[in-house]
Structure 1
Amino acid sequence: MRYRVLGGTGIEVSTYCLGTMMFGAVGNPDHQESVRIIHAALDQGVNFVDTADMYSAGESEEIVGKALRDRRRREATVLATKVYFPMGEGPNRGGLSRRWITQAVENSLRRLGTEWIDLYQVHRPDPRTDIEETLGVLGDLVTQGKIRAFGCSTFPAEDIVEAHTVAERRGLRRFRTEQPPYSLLARGVEASVLPVAQRYGMGVLTWSPLASGFLTGRYRKGRPIDLSSGRPALVPHRFDPALPTTAAKLD
């Protein structure tokens, strides 16, 4: 297994990252089987596991926590999770405000059964919240030792540039990673997001590298295909191998 440094943090992660979106009610509700899958990946040298608070309404984080209950496994694993999507009804139960992130990180730590999160990612941009507010609370969480580093996911290039500009001007900690959708069928990030990530020395995790299963061979010529959920569109751009690719996240 090959390892790379994650976005200038000094943290070394495996080339492959195990995504856990399908663990829990929306995918595999069998906790024991999901734990076995996680252990199998770790035993093969994968040391990077990614989840999110909204995956199966927190159940995925609980499963990951069970898999990493052994202290040695936890210390050997680079654990990533995310915040943004609503986690309940009513206002102030999602987004990227200081109020919500402060509460959400405690909830994730509890479900994961851990004292720290290695990579805490904002799942989507939040136009309702000033980016300075978000960067400020994330930096405070690093200082408090609750997270080691933080990044963003599915951010347009212009939002990444704005975040880094604000961080530099205000003396705040900055996003270390970006997690965009990227596959042979979804290559739009090559035009701007990947070059911007390279400019700022950010690590890149890709989600849905198999295009929601479209690239697995599951869909065959002459057979009906259900496109009701939508599929990534082909956006032709020249591939530059020098662009940063830290990990392919297998959901």
Structure 2
Amino acid sequence: MELRPVGTSGLRVSRLGLGTMTWARDTTDEQARSLLEMFHEAGGTLVDTAAAYGAGDAERLIGRLVAEMGIRDDVVLATKAGFVIRDGERIVDTSRRALLRDLEGSLRRLGTDHVDLWQVHAWGDAPLAETLDAVDHAVAAGMVRYAGISNFVGWQTAQAATWQQAFPGRTPITSAQVEYSLLARRAEVEVLPAARAFGMGFFPWSPLGRGVLTGQYRAGTPRGSRAATDHFAWFVEPYLENRSRGVVEAVVRAAEGLDLLPLQVALLWVRDAPGVTAPLLGARTPGQLAPALAAEDQALPHEIASALDDVSGGPNAARPAAVGTRGA
């Protein structure tokens, strides 16, 4: 699999990442092993998780599998801190105490002395200086190699990056991670421009529109899908409205014309969009991951990518014009 630099840093990752939000919950241990083996064999390196996923169980599973497979040096382990779900309530705590406590727990569960990329999972109420001081401490202590942010809006992204650049010796913000797909293009307004301005890599989560862009919901809610579960129905429902249906149908038509799957068309649009480093694939089963990996050598024709831009919200101002159309 092709490797891409993460912004202007020296870190390089595969241009697809493996997301693990469902591991140790909807994804069984056996399925997780198969997913990691398939991903690794395809040349994938970026494995993204979080202390909050499965209340730490996803990290435990990753740590065990990576050790059993002997692939720690082959993978870029990325995790997050500062966000937990306690008694069904989402709690964001980005204080120094909470972040470093989360990191110590992540290292223990992952069975490693360091993580390659440590991300602040969400913007919190703690002073930004305190949050980023915890990041600096973790890097200086050797527990973290690179630092990133997740789910920050544009001004928050710029503020964090500016703060770290203000004085020599502070840890640069290497990457940003937010939702981005044909059904969620808000990142193009401020987050992606901020990432470009500060030399940051960009990791889109839910590049398949929370599963809706696969086309599986066109005739209803399939049994076994995320929308059919009590704990993920709320996550999918916002994309099951009329506007989304039009985008899904456009993806399906493009897939038919290109002899690809809708999943592959939606993924390729994100993977090769301007500013994107690596979409994070939240495949729950090997059968969902296989077609994504099979599209490694594919690319969307410029006119198809542009047409999908138009139907999903309008032209992407950062997308280069097709050859022969400049100045037209």
Question: TM-score if structure 1 supplies the norm length?
Answer: 0.88
Q: Any residues of structure 2 matched to 1:82-97 within 5 Å, and which?
A: 82-86=80-84, 88=86, 95-97=93-95
1:231 aligns with 2:238: yes
Give the one of 114, 117, 135 matched to 1:116: 114
Contact 2:81-2:121 at 8 Å conserved across structures: yes
Q: 1:103 to 1:218 in 2, by over 3 A?
A: same
For 1:53, what is the secondary structure of its paired residue? coil
Q: How many residue pairs end up in the alignment?
A: 240
Quote how far apart the aligned CAs of 1:7 are.
Answer: 2.5
1:49 aligns with 2:47: yes
For 1:196, what is the secondary structure of its paired residue? helix
Structure with greater helix percent: 2
1:167 aligns with 2:167: no
Contact 1:8-1:202 at 8 Å conserved across structures: yes
1:32 aligned residue: 30
1:152 aligns with 2:149: yes
Quote how far apart the aligned CAs of 1:42 are.
Answer: 0.5
Give the one of 116, 134, 139 matched to 2:136: 139
For 1:212, what is the secondary structure of its paired residue? coil
Which amino acid in the other structure matches residue 56 of structure 2?
G
Q: 1:217 to 1:87 in 2, by over 3 A?
A: closer
For 1:24, what is the secondary structure of its paired residue? coil
Q: Any residues of structure 2 matched to 1:67-78 within 5 Å, and which?
A: 67-70=65-68, 72-78=70-76
Quote how far apart the aligned CAs of 1:9 are.
Answer: 2.4
1:20 aligned residue: 20
Quote how far apart the aligned CAs of 1:132 are.
Answer: 0.8
Q: 1:71 to 1:161 in 2, by over 3 A?
A: same
For the aligned residues, what is the CA RMSD?
Answer: 2.3
Quote how far apart the aligned CAs of 1:83 are.
Answer: 0.8
Q: Out of 31-40 and 204-213, give the one that drifted further.
A: 31-40
Question: How high is the sequence identity, in percent, across the aligned residues?
Answer: 35
Question: TM-score if structure 2 supplies the norm length?
Answer: 0.68
Contact 1:211-1:231 at 8 Å conserved across structures: no
Contact 2:55-2:84 at 8 Å conserved across structures: no
The runs of 5 or more residues in structure 2 that have no matched partner are 222-226, 228-232, 248-269, 283-328
Quote how far apart the aligned CAs of 1:72 are.
Answer: 4.3
Structure showing greater radius of gyration is: 2
Q: 1:33 to 1:243 in 2, by over 3 A?
A: closer
Residue deviations 1:11-68 (CA, integer Å, cap 9, x gap): 210000000111112x12x213312211211011001100111111111101111121
Give the one of 274, 295, 305 matched to 1:243: 274
Give the one of 176, 195, 198 matched to 2:196: 198
For 2:71, what is the secondary structure of its paired residue? helix
Contact 2:178-2:203 at 8 Å conserved across structures: yes
Q: Distance in 2 between matches of 1:114 and 1:193?
A: 31
1:100 aligned residue: 98
Contact 2:3-2:14 at 8 Å conserved across structures: yes
For 1:231, what is the secondary structure of its paired residue? helix
For 1:141, what is the secondary structure of its paired residue? helix
The runs of 5 or more residues in structure 1 that have no matched partner are none
Quote how far apart the aligned CAs of 1:179 are.
Answer: 0.5
For 1:189, what is the secondary structure of its paired residue? helix
Residue deviations 1:168-206 (CA, integer Å, cap 9, x gap): 334422311000100011111111110111000100000
2:10 aligned residue: 10
1:207 aligned residue: 205
Q: Distance in 1 between matches of 2:98 and 2:275?
A: 31
Which amino acid in the other structure matches residue 192 of structure 1?
E
